[in-house]
Protein backbone atom coordinates (compact mmCIF):
# COMPACT_ATOMS: atom_id res chain seq x y z
CA UNK A 1 0.00 0.00 0.00
CA UNK A 2 1.38 3.34 -1.08
CA UNK A 3 1.58 6.02 1.61
CA UNK A 4 3.40 8.76 -0.25
CA UNK A 5 5.24 9.10 -3.55
CA UNK A 6 8.28 7.20 -2.29
CA UNK A 7 7.10 5.15 0.70
CA UNK A 8 4.91 2.11 1.10
CA UNK A 9 3.37 0.64 4.22
CA UNK A 10 5.37 -2.55 3.64
CA UNK A 11 8.61 -0.65 4.15
CA UNK A 12 7.39 0.31 7.60
CA UNK A 13 6.28 -3.14 8.68
CA UNK A 14 8.92 -5.37 7.11
CA UNK A 15 11.18 -7.05 9.67
CA UNK A 16 13.37 -10.09 9.14
CA UNK A 17 13.20 -10.83 12.85
CA UNK A 18 9.40 -10.62 12.88
CA UNK A 19 9.25 -12.99 9.88
CA UNK A 20 11.61 -15.44 11.46
CA UNK A 21 9.80 -15.40 14.80
CA UNK A 22 6.37 -15.31 13.13
CA UNK A 23 5.44 -12.10 14.90
CA UNK A 24 2.45 -10.30 13.40
CA UNK A 25 3.85 -6.82 12.82
CA UNK A 26 0.88 -5.30 11.04
CA UNK A 27 0.01 -1.75 12.01
CA UNK A 28 -3.18 -1.40 14.09
CA UNK A 29 -5.76 0.95 12.54
CA UNK A 30 -5.40 3.47 15.33
CA UNK A 31 -1.72 3.98 14.50
CA UNK A 32 -2.14 4.45 10.76
CA UNK A 33 -2.34 8.24 11.12
CA UNK A 34 1.06 8.19 12.81
CA UNK A 35 2.55 6.04 10.05
CA UNK A 36 1.17 8.44 7.47
CA UNK A 37 2.67 11.40 9.34
CA UNK A 38 6.04 9.68 9.47
CA UNK A 39 5.93 8.90 5.75
CA UNK A 40 5.03 12.52 4.98
CA UNK A 41 7.94 13.79 7.07
CA UNK A 42 10.31 11.27 5.49
CA UNK A 43 9.55 12.68 2.06
CA UNK A 44 11.18 15.89 3.23
CA UNK A 45 14.15 13.97 4.64
CA UNK A 46 14.54 12.20 1.30
CA UNK A 47 14.33 15.50 -0.52
CA UNK A 48 17.12 17.21 1.42
CA UNK A 49 19.33 14.12 1.21
CA UNK A 50 18.70 13.65 -2.50
CA UNK A 51 18.85 9.86 -2.32
CA UNK A 52 16.37 7.09 -1.46
CA UNK A 53 15.84 6.26 2.21
CA UNK A 54 16.35 2.60 3.09
CA UNK A 55 14.22 1.90 6.14
CA UNK A 56 15.80 -0.85 8.23
CA UNK A 57 13.24 -0.66 11.04
CA UNK A 58 9.97 1.24 11.01
CA UNK A 59 6.91 0.16 12.93
CA UNK A 60 7.48 -2.38 15.70
CA UNK A 61 4.63 -4.00 17.53
CA UNK A 62 5.36 -4.24 21.27
CA UNK A 63 6.43 -7.89 20.99
CA UNK A 64 8.87 -7.24 18.15
CA UNK A 65 10.18 -4.16 19.93
CA UNK A 66 10.93 -6.19 23.03
CA UNK A 67 12.65 -8.86 20.94
CA UNK A 68 15.00 -6.33 19.34
CA UNK A 69 15.80 -4.78 22.71
CA UNK A 70 13.94 -1.52 22.16
CA UNK A 71 12.80 0.52 25.16
CA UNK A 72 9.10 0.00 25.87
CA UNK A 73 8.34 3.67 25.22
CA UNK A 74 10.06 3.56 21.81
CA UNK A 75 8.52 5.79 19.15
CA UNK A 76 8.84 2.77 16.83
CA UNK A 77 5.90 1.17 18.69
CA UNK A 78 3.75 4.19 17.88
CA UNK A 79 4.70 4.29 14.20
CA UNK A 80 6.53 7.56 14.78
CA UNK A 81 10.15 6.56 14.16
CA UNK A 82 12.31 4.85 11.60
CA UNK A 83 15.90 3.64 11.47
CA UNK A 84 17.43 4.14 8.05
CA UNK A 85 20.44 4.24 5.77
CA UNK A 86 20.89 6.57 2.85
CA UNK A 87 23.49 6.70 0.07
CA UNK A 88 23.91 10.40 0.87
CA UNK A 89 26.65 9.48 3.33
CA UNK A 90 27.54 8.14 6.74
CA UNK A 91 25.02 8.37 9.59
CA UNK A 92 27.00 11.31 10.91
CA UNK A 93 26.89 13.12 7.57
CA UNK A 94 23.19 12.43 7.22
CA UNK A 95 22.44 13.82 10.68
CA UNK A 96 24.53 16.91 10.02
CA UNK A 97 22.72 17.53 6.74
CA UNK A 98 19.29 17.22 8.39
CA UNK A 99 20.31 19.66 11.11
CA UNK A 100 21.86 22.14 8.67
CA UNK A 101 18.80 22.16 6.42
CA UNK A 102 16.41 22.71 9.33
CA UNK A 103 14.38 19.53 8.84
CA UNK A 104 11.82 19.24 11.62
CA UNK A 105 11.88 16.18 13.85
CA UNK A 106 11.30 15.26 17.43
CA UNK A 107 14.44 13.18 17.91
CA UNK A 108 17.43 12.42 15.72
CA UNK A 109 20.00 9.84 16.79
CA UNK A 110 23.29 8.94 15.14
CA UNK A 111 23.40 5.26 16.14
CA UNK A 112 26.83 3.69 16.53
CA UNK A 113 27.99 5.06 13.13
CA UNK A 114 25.73 2.40 11.62
CA UNK A 115 22.30 3.91 11.09
CA UNK A 116 20.17 6.97 11.74
CA UNK A 117 17.09 6.97 13.97
CA UNK A 118 14.60 9.74 13.33
CA UNK A 119 11.45 10.21 15.37
CA UNK A 120 8.50 12.52 14.87
CA UNK A 121 5.50 13.64 16.86
CA UNK A 122 2.09 14.94 15.86
CA UNK A 123 2.36 17.49 18.67
CA UNK A 124 5.86 18.91 18.79
CA UNK A 125 9.29 19.09 17.17
CA UNK A 126 11.73 19.07 20.04
CA UNK A 127 14.77 18.81 17.74
CA UNK A 128 16.59 16.55 20.19
CA UNK A 129 19.92 15.38 18.73
CA UNK A 130 21.83 12.48 20.24
CA UNK A 131 24.62 10.04 19.41
CA UNK A 132 24.45 6.44 20.60
CA UNK A 133 27.78 4.93 21.57
CA UNK A 134 28.87 1.80 23.39
CA UNK A 135 30.44 2.24 26.78
CA UNK A 136 31.61 -0.98 28.42
CA UNK A 137 29.20 -2.90 26.23
CA UNK A 138 26.20 -0.75 27.15
CA UNK A 139 24.57 1.80 24.85
CA UNK A 140 24.73 5.33 26.15
CA UNK A 141 23.42 8.51 24.54
CA UNK A 142 25.41 11.68 24.40
CA UNK A 143 24.16 15.08 23.31
CA UNK A 144 24.76 16.24 19.77
CA UNK A 145 26.44 14.54 16.85
CA UNK A 146 29.85 13.08 17.70
ZN1 LIG B 1 15.26 3.56 16.09
| Mean pLDDT on 51-73 | 95
End-to-end CA distance of the chain: 37
pLDDT of residue 73: 92
Measured distance CA(75)–CA(104) in Å, rounded: 16
When the candidates are 3.40.50.300, 3.30.1380.10, 3.30.70.20, 3.30.350.10, the CATH number that belongs to 9-143 is: 3.30.1380.10
Q: How far is the CA of 2 from the centre of ligand 1 (A)?
A: 22
pLDDT confidence of 6, banded at 50, 70, 90?
Answer: very high
Burial 41-59 (b: 16+ CB within 10 A, else e): bbeebbeebeeebebbbbb
pLDDT of residue 18: 96
pLDDT of residue 13: 97
pLDDT of residue 93: 98
pLDDT of residue 120: 98
| Mean pLDDT on 82-98 | 98
Contacts of 76 (CB under 8 A, 6+ apart): 57, 58, 59, 60, 65, 70, 82, 83
Q: How far is the CA of 112 from the centre of ligand 1 (A)?
A: 12
Q: How far is the CA of 79 from the centre of ligand 1 (A)?
A: 11
Cα 28–chain centre separation: 18
Name the residues around ion ligand 1, CB cutoff 5 A.
83, 117
Q: Where are the domains of the chain?
A: 9-143
pLDDT confidence of 7, banded at 50, 70, 90?
Answer: very high
Measured distance CA(121)–CA(127) in Å, rounded: 11
pLDDT confidence of 126, banded at 50, 70, 90?
Answer: very high
With 0-12 / 13-18 / 19 or more C-beta atoms within 10 angstroms meaning exposed / middle / buried, residue 8 is middle
Amino acid sequence: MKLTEHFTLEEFTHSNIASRLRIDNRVPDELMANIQLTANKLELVRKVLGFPIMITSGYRCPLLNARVGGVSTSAHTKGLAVDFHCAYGTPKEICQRLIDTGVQFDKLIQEHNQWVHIGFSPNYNRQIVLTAIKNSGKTVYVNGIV
